[in-house]
């Protein structure tokens, strides 16, 4: 929806991710949670606390945040993917003169024994072409591909509008 290097006004960002009241849709996303929601480990890299925000009806972009805990050597997050969206991209947000800019990241470095946080206002995963709106309480899988550690799959928990793992926002 947004081209690479897009510039979006803070208002747009707010309305997409927080502001609009979500209309309760019937028959919400049903994800079979066969995988436990706790962190999944692979060769030293662990991904935990993955979360996302509910999306308003008609909006086909979404976002995801998580914490990468690397107990091994230097690594890099190269790609992400999820069955809920046509594309998933690595982005970074910066506030520049009151304008929220989101830029695509080619990869995210994960240093040796480092913790890298994807969080609001910083690095995030952006979903383009969501198959359907995300609702609070949903869970969906996200696969992160690392240069050395390979694929790490985690489950993302969707929070309602104005909610986050840290309480209301």
CA 96 to chain centre: 22
- Residue 22: φ, ψ to 5°: -85, 135
- Give me the least distance between CB of 105 and Cu ion, in Å please: 9
Task: Tell me the closest approach of the beta carbon of residue 63 to Cu ion, in angstroms.
Answer: 7
**Strand 45-53 to strand 150-159: parallel, antiparallel, or no bridges (unpaired)?**
parallel
Q: In the complex, which residues of this chain contact Cu ion (CB under 5 A)?
A: 91, 102, 126
The helix/strand/coil state of 11 is: helix
Q: How far is the CB of 80 from Cu ion (least distance, A)?
A: 12
The residue with its CB nearest to Cu ion is 91
Of 6 and 38, nearer to Cu ion (C-beta) is 6
Tokens at residue 34, please?
Answer: 């066969």
Q: Which is nearer to Cu ion, 10 or 137 (CB)?
A: 10
Given the complex with Cu ion, which of 3 and 27 has the nearer CB atom?
A: 3
* Cross-strand partners of 132: none
The residue among 102 and 110 lying less far from Cu ion, judged by its C-beta, is 102
CB-wise, 3 or 98, nearer to Cu ion? 3
Nearest CA to 65 among 167, 169, 165?
A: 165
Separation of alpha carbons 166 and 6, rounded Å: 28
Smallest gap from Cβ 81 to Cu ion, in A, equals 16
CB 45 within 8 A of CB 116: no
State the nearest-atom distance from the C-beta of 2 to Cu ion, in Å. 7
């Amino acid at each position: 929806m947004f081209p690479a290097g897009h510039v979006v006004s803070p208002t747009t960002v707010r309305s997409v991710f927080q502001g609009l009241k979500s209309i309760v849709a019937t028959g919400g996303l049903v994800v079979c949670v066969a995988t436990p929601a706790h962190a999944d480990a692979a060769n030293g890299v662990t991904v935990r606390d993955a979360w996302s925000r509910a999306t308003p009806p008609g909006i086909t972009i979404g976002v995801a945040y998580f914490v990468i805990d690397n107990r091994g050597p230097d690594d890099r997050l190269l790609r992400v993917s999820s069955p809920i969206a046509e594309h998933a991209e690595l982005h970074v947000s910066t506030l520049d003169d009151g304008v929220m800019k989101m830029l695509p990241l080619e990869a995210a470095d994960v240093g040796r024994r480092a913790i890298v946080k994807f969080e609001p206002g910083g690095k995030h995963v952006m979903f383009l072409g969501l198959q359907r709106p995300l609702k609070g309480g949903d869970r969906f899988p996200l696969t992160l591909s690392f240069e050395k550690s390979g694929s790490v799959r985690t489950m993302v928990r969707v929070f309602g509008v104005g909610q986050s793992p840290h309480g209301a926002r």
